[in-house]
A and B are shown apart, each in its own frame.
Chain A
Amino acid sequence: MSAPKKLPHWADVTLVPLASVALAFVISGILIWAIGENPWNAVKLMVEGAFGSSYGWGYTLYYATNFIFTGLAVAVAFQARLFNIGGEGQAAMAGLGVALVCLYIPWPHWSLALLGASLGAAFFGAAWAFIPAWLQARRGSHIVITTIMFNFIAASVLGYFLVNVLRPQGTMDPASARFPADIRLPRLHEMLEPFGIPFSTSTPANIALFLALAMCFAVWFMLWRTRLGYQIRTFGESQTAAEYAGISPVKITVYTMLISGGLAGLMAVNSVMGEQQRLVLNAVEGAGFIGIAVALMGRNHPFGVFLAAILFGFLYQGGAELALWTNIPRELIVVIQALVILFTGALDNMVRMPLTRLFAMWGTR
């Protein structure tokens, strides 16, 4: 085999993820066909369910908001070549932070409560990422393993708090009390009403969506317009080069993971405060892990993360509709998610090689 030429940058950031997703969809289609359902019908149902009504849009955007936060979290860490697999645990702990802030502080207005809850969520998420970060930086403990372990530890801590501390007396359900009604976050339909745009009143999409969009911009600005971002990216490109340039690996590892954990934590504002309005045992519902797929597909760029989050929001809402109307369970989405992770993150060379060859053929013609 001749030395493989490099793929042009634009093709690498667009065609490789698109081809990967296409592959994932084709394989999922075959799976749907194999279990005796009609793949084309399934696609139609999913698109209709996710985008065919403002109800569908509301849920799609609600899920997408979660995935923007967790996707950004994974993407920021990836920029420093750290694999933060602990978004799930960080978001779970952040839920605890949101619950404490909302339950124990009497907020005069929802906007102040939003600020407080965001800080609480980011703080708890970042704190939960701090220990693995510090252990990686100082003791060389592999951050992938420690963050996995911290996911499980978070589940136990949360379980303890919900059963023994936050559970109102007389209830069996391991869940906190409901947050006060006057700090309920404005839902999307309430925000669109003044503009005369009718929107489904029964969807959980809320103001946290705009917080997520702001975070996309903030992360972009941080990574490409600040000194810290430059240091993070340099560290990710080459640790030795970064050290020669006087960048402290301990500092960058810890800072990056704090930002990452904080971003993952913000997800709790959307889910715990925006939707459930109380803390339940499994508030994260795997969104922390979907962040991995979102970041990989979005090529670790905030704009890519935004697009990928919308795609996964669509898959989640569409998948729920699919489960409602056909015999295909929701877990089909987990299969698609797995295939996206596999093709974009692990088998990317398999996808890239034929594309590279194609471009080489084009170039010589």
Chain B
Amino acid sequence: MDITVIVQIIDSTLRLSTPLLFACLAGLISERAGVFDIGLEGKMLVAAFTAAAIAFVSGNVWIGVTAAVLASVVLSLVHGLASITFRGNQLISGVAINFLAAGITVVIAQNWFRQGGRTPSLSGDARMPRLNLPFADALRDVPLIGPLYSGILSGHGLLVYVAFLCVPLTWFMLFRTRFGLRLRAVGENPAAVDTSGVSVTALRYGAVAICGVLCGLAGAYLSTGLSAGFVQEMTAGRGFIALAAMIFAKWRPWPAMWAVLLFGLLEAVANRFQNIEILGLTLPVQAMQALPYILTVVILAGFVGKAIPPRAGGQAYVKEH
């Protein structure tokens, strides 16, 4: 394998990891606050559609991204309503949101654009522009630094950099701020937080809203950056891969980034090669596709380190009188 192929694969790994990273951090924040969210997929899908549709109509990708974030937050508030206010089953609510997204995006897209449930393809200002980092062109031919800096790091959409910036931000927010401390506490022992006079409901809604914003960015990047327009079911299980990465990383931001990069790499390799030969064994492309899920089951099974979710995760908080 020559160097250009490796550079290309790592380059596309970064891009494929971006929606996963946003969604993974979204789920991480929500679950740290004790609200399970298997509706990441649905929120991403609605955001992907909204971003593409609004970007196409307005001709400006950033208006699209903003609309996507709003749409995703609305869905996460529905999830909050069900799981926080009405103390419903959080898992079922997530399932419902996934289906709602799968259905409503196609119904509206078909009615709006009449192209069989997709948006017209985006071009020009409606697509996310690629940023060239400073001196990227000048350094392109320098050995080692050239491929690394100009080939891999430079030339992505803004949201790619934002996604990776969100990792330290999330870490800082969760582990170095008062809000983060309370957020984690509310996922472990909501009664204690309540006793100290802080509103469990407000904190959980806050976490769910942040989750919505991040899922919105994930979906927006998917349809305006990674591809040029929305197609039916374009998230293709990414919300669940993000969930898998979150468990893989045991609900911690930095490991989440590595997990997401690993899963992004798997996708990039699977996209590039059909079957891979390792030590005379042919690894079919399906095995690559299934690998993130298999790895997650292994981690969940606790054979390789135990993944323990936040203690109050999935339970509605009932205030004592």
Residues of A within 8 A of B (CB): 31, 35-36, 83, 85, 131, 135, 139-142, 144-146, 148-150, 152-153, 156-157, 159-160, 163-164, 289, 292, 296, 327-329, 331-339, 341-342, 345-350
Contact = CB atoms under 8 A, between A and B. Distances in A.
Contacts of A346: 82-83, 86, 88-90, 92-93, 96
Contact of B103 (A83, A334, A350): A334
A36 B107 CA distance: 12
B107 A31 contact: yes
Interface string B95-129: 11111111110111011001001000000000000
Contacts of B297: 131, 135, 141, 146, 149-150, 153
B311 to A, nearest CB: 13
Contacts of B88: 345-350
Contacts of B101: 338
Interface of B: 38, 78, 81-83, 86-93, 95-104, 106-108, 110-111, 114, 117, 237, 240, 243-244, 247, 284, 286-287, 289-290, 293-294, 296-297, 300-302, 309
Contacts, number: 155
Contacts of A331: 102-104, 106-107, 110, 117
Among A149, A164, A296: residue with most chain B CB under 10 A: A149
A139 B240 contact: no
A327 B247 contact: no
B110 to A, nearest CB: 5
Main secondary structure of the interface of B (DSSP, over half): helix
A328 B297 CA distance: 39
Contacts of B97: 338, 342
Q: Lowest 8 A-B CB distances belong to which pairs?
A: A334-B103, A338-B99, A346-B93, A345-B92, A335-B103, A156-B290, A342-B96, A346-B88
Contact of B110 (A289, A327, A334, A335): A327
Contacts of A332: 103, 107
Nearest to B94: A346
A336 B96 CA distance: 10
A335 B83 contact: no
Nearest to A147: B297
B86 A347 contact: yes
Contacts of A289: 95, 99
Contacts of B95: 85, 289, 292, 341, 345
Given A157-B290, A338-B103, A145 B82 contact: no
B286 A144 contact: no
Nearest to B246: A145
Most buried by B among A145, A292, A336: A145
